[in-house]
Structure 1
Amino acid sequence: MAGPLRQLSEHGVSIWLDHLSRERLTGGGLETALRDREVVGVTTNPSIFHQAIAGGGSAYDTDLHDLALRGVTAEEAVRALTTADVRSAADLLRPVYQRTDGHDGRISLEVDPRFAHDTDATLAEARHLWWTVDRPNLLIKIPATPAGLPAISAAIAEGISVNVTLIFSIDRYRAVADAYLTGLERALADGRDLSTLESVASFFVSRMDTEVDRRLEEVGTPQALDLLGRAGLANARLAYQAHEEVVRSQRWQALQAAGANVQRMLWTSTSTKNPAYPDTLYVSGLVVPGTINTLPPQTLDAVADHGEIQPDTVRGTYEQSAGVLSALSELGIDYDEVVALLEEQGVGAFEKAWSSLLDSVEASLTRLRGTRGTR
């Protein structure tokens, strides 16, 4: 009998790993995941790189020593380290990329999160990262902030494949889909081959429950407590309903006829933050063909060990999901306020992780410059 990870793949969900480090690359961990765990892609973010580099032991010592000798800045060093890891991962993923005609076998790299509210800087960073990594199976991660949306369209128009990150609301997902279609239309007008472009829309799941549950517990009524742990899945499922509306539109049909690839939904933030909830909740509850679920290592292990996978746990839930959001509204929980806060917190968390990484690398470079000539 096929294991849960194989079942998830057979039900049309691509499994990506939400983690990357030098140790995982050099120690064979990524190769093992690709071979034995149904993993067909990798995502990264500033927090993952902070954990990998600042807490990575000696894995980066040689590179940091050489960078210190060259007198580079902390920002240059971080970009050198992260793009090197992403390039190596892209090469390991290349066979999957070729086998799946470019739909999977992808690795994501995020623009500097400090540019989340600056369209021009985001686009400039996207161009630089795309050029630096120089791998066809790269996805540049651009946040779905108001400033990020026009950068998404411009990047797609220029031939840069994009992973749109930090999507928390259904309306913002619709704006992301519009930005992708706009970019495709511009690319088509410029004579680009649309089949070479890929995009995913990364919809955050668990953080919705974290914030909504806090507010439900403050309300404290039986009706409120009955809704605990239900907002995250409801929100994501209704976003998928919006996705279905997009792919039924005449606008998308025209682009598809011209060779465009659909912008797939990617479920992220899929580790449960509340230990009272099943640790596979945001995997088993979001099974639908043609989507991606990017899993942190511990969630990947949990699904492999005891995941219960049923076919299509999304379509057919829309009325119930809308009822959950309606019930939250009746209790005075403002959906728009929640998702705006989550976006603000998400951008802030990535900015903090990036700044901490820069500080850590700067300290390492300073220390190593002081040992110049000792090796």
Structure 2
Amino acid sequence: MKGVLIDLAPLRASPAFRRLWFGQVVSIFGAQLAFVAVMFQVWDQTHSTAWTGAIGLAQALPLIVLGLFAGAAVDRFERRRFYLVITICQVITATLMASQLLIGSVPVGVLLGLVSMQSALGAASGPAARSILPQLLPRELLAGGIALNRIAFQGAMLVGPAVGGLIVGAWGPSTAYLVDALTFSGVLYGVLGLPVLRVKGEVRPGVRGVADGLAFVVSTPVIRGALVTDLAVTVLSMPISLFPALNAERFGGDPRTLGLFLTAIAVGGVTASVLSGSYTRLPRPGVVMLIGAGSWGIALGLFAFAPTPWIALAFLAVAGAADTVSVVARSTIVQLHTPNELLGRVAAAEQIVGSAGPNLGNVRGGVTAQLTSPFIALISGAALCVAAVITVATTTPGLRDRIAPETSPAND
């Protein structure tokens, strides 16, 4: 079992990574509390689905517009100092949201403006955190470190919303914002424990620096193949928008079943993270990624034909596990094949794909279902996903190569 369970060696090997991981665990949990509070407060003040939908827009636009420029800044400046400045700004923004405890609720427009500010800062902190990882861990431990980060995110997704609902119900959304602000102390603890992380080489300013990063992504087959695979999983086959209609058609519209759909995906993801030692130690992460992405599509195709709710939930759990396997392997490929001086920009591109892809996929699914049926939307997306993964596998032979282990960090 030791070789199957999640690899804890990265936590033992690098005190700096251990501190940073702990801080991120705490902060991700706080972010989930804040998200529930924002949703509740916007609905409570407007009773409008248009306004609650605007929350997603407020989060997505800064990430898409600023992400690549933030990634260029990560590569241009000393990374520890840059991450520290961004974290302090996040603390200030979270404190402004928590100040409603004293001044009362702010208008919805102001609240969404603060959400946009946090998202803009997240567009910088995400690439910063990802680009730091290869400078803290040896190559052979990098996949294990990524799996540890993944389980931290999924654990917060499972527990955070429920706790957030309890806090908002008992003390109101402002208390949840206050807890979120306090959790940033964990990130500060982690960032302050980092060594100086200078980047060799120069980054051209502005659009030219961004263009250099995009040129590397496009011209490097394994990086391009990894990101295209992620788009295949998300844009072509994301099923979330189809869940209400499928639940109504197949399982009587029981809201308890609908709620379990998302929980099943998360449970599968957490299980795959706990057992990540079974694949993070393998020498061919590209093959692992392709198998995980293809299994996601196959599991969703089987979900479309599931005759009972429990079988449907089982296939969704398999899909969630496959997605986690694919994400961990993809991030490993990206970080192992990207030079240190480009990590920020490539990590920003990966973050944008990972964040925008699911939203576009849900739009594709919803429109296809409207024009045809939810079943056709789901099964066609699953088939397109598998076809795209096979195409990437056959046209990108580098993804089948072994990763040569090293005993020193991947980047100095």
Q: How high is the TM-score relative to the length of structure 1?
A: 0.26
Bigger RCO (CA 8 Å, 6+ sep): 2
Q: How high is the TM-score relative to the length of structure 2?
A: 0.24
More helix, by proportion: 2
More strand, by proportion: 1
